[in-house]
Structure 1
Amino acid sequence: MNIDFRRLSDSDADALVRFLTGERWPFHVIGEVDDATARQWVAEGRFASEENRSFWIVADGTPVGLVRLMDLADDTPMFDLRIEAAHRGSGIGAQAVTWLTRYLFTEFPEVRRVEGTTRQDNVPMRRVFLRCGYVKEAHYRDAWPAYDGTVHDTVGYAILRRDWTAGTVTLPPWDDDPID
């Protein structure tokens, strides 16, 4: 499967709304996006603004996912990844995270690190983070409200520019609590 990335344009608004409303997003706070919410997000610049850039994930000429890059004025941007259910588990997530990491470090020389979070129970995404050189840096208990009213733990991952450049992975010092 040939994967490509194409930046969203203003003419993509209706296609973006159809994409967001046409799927269930089980690991997002809003699991089912309605038309009005999707259009509001587009109008607010959530997908395209000075702080945000979004890209279609295109497989063999057809959009199958979306990469949204956020906080682009910061030295630590974050991202959101959505892949259509029919294409999940096919390796597209790892390709997308590899691509967005390279994109951010190449296009934004001031970026020192890239961060991403997911729910603790989103095992496939957690594997993608690790496969792509990201390191678990945080575990936030009861921090992710789900659309069904449940609350989940949030897990945070990041990759440092210096690790990406060197092809290494450095772990944070977990045993550094001060002891009285």
Structure 2
Amino acid sequence: MDTTCVRVEPTHPTHAEHLVDFLSGDTWPFHVADVVTRSQARQWVEDGRYDGPDNRAFWITRAGERAGLVRLTDLREDTPLFDLRIRSQHRGRGLGREALAWLTGHVFTEFPEVRRIEATTRQDNTAMRRALRRSGYVKEAHYRDAWPAADGRVCDAVGYAALRRDWLAGTATLPDWDDEPGAGREGRSPAAG
């Protein structure tokens, strides 16, 4: 596929309008707000969410079309985060995995102080979870009742990360899940001791 990532320049008026159009022109079912209004999107652009010392955004283009958007955040920290949005007509076609491979390489190449990249998504976002695993991200956390959904439900959230050392080695190391004394007591109430 002909997929590229191009830096968004939201200070340019035309680019800002493209961002507003993109964000408000589709639904985002696994984000806290599944619908973004034009005024909300415009406020996000004005607030600097897509460009600045801590933030950068990139169009994900496929065959010349803006098919997605990746926003990197916390870039002055050693563990940045990202937000990935793929237009509905491009979902399920491997674009998320391509974008993850690009953003991981970009962050680890452009920001030598970054040790890890974190991602959090809803438990029921199976496509994103699969893309993360296939891109070398490892599940590190499970947060119960942590993600408010647009329909009023509260979903579990899961946390993944890619480590620089794993990326360089082409591996994915797993956390030590059995490091607590008394492991195996999960599911018991605190009162049960």
Q: Same fold (TM over 0.5)?
A: yes
Among 38, 42, 46, which residue is 2:41 paired with?
38
What's 2:112 paired with?
109
Paired residue secondary structure (2:118):
strand
Q: Residues 29-178 of structure 1: matches in 2 within 5 Å?
A: 29-178=32-181
Paired residue secondary structure (2:127):
helix
Indicate whether 1:7 and 2:7 are aligned: yes
For the aligned residue pairs, the C-alpha RMSD in angstroms reads 1.0
- What amino acid maps onto 1:54 in structure 2? A
Q: Shift of residue 178 of structure 1?
A: 2.6
Q: How far apart in 2 are the matches of 1:44 and 1:146?
A: 24
Number of residues of Structure 1 aligned to a counterpart in Structure 2: 180
Measured against aligned partners, the alpha-carbon deviations of 1:94-117 in whole angstroms (never above 9, x if no partner) come to 000000000000000000000001
Measured against aligned partners, the alpha-carbon deviations of 1:107-166 in whole angstroms (never above 9, x if no partner) come to 000000000011000000000000001100000000000111110000000011000000
Structure with greater Cα Rg: 2
TM-score (norm 2): 0.92
Measured against aligned partners, the alpha-carbon deviations of 1:3-44 in whole angstroms (never above 9, x if no partner) come to 001000122100100000000100000100001110110010
Q: How far apart in 2 are the matches of 1:13 and 1:178?
A: 53
Q: How far apart in 2 are the matches of 1:121 and 1:32?
A: 18
Paired residue secondary structure (2:26):
coil
Q: How far apart in 1 are the matches of 2:83 and 2:181?
A: 35
Fraction of identical pairs, as percent:
60
Paired residue secondary structure (1:80):
strand
Moved runs in structure 1, 4+ residues, more than 3 A? none
TM-score (norm 1): 0.98
Q: How far apart in 1 are the matches of 2:73 and 2:181?
A: 34
Q: How far apart in 1 are the matches of 2:47 and 2:180?
A: 42
Structure 1's unaligned 5+ residue stretches are none
- What amino acid maps onto 1:6 in structure 2? V
Paired residue secondary structure (2:176):
coil
Paired residue secondary structure (1:127):
helix
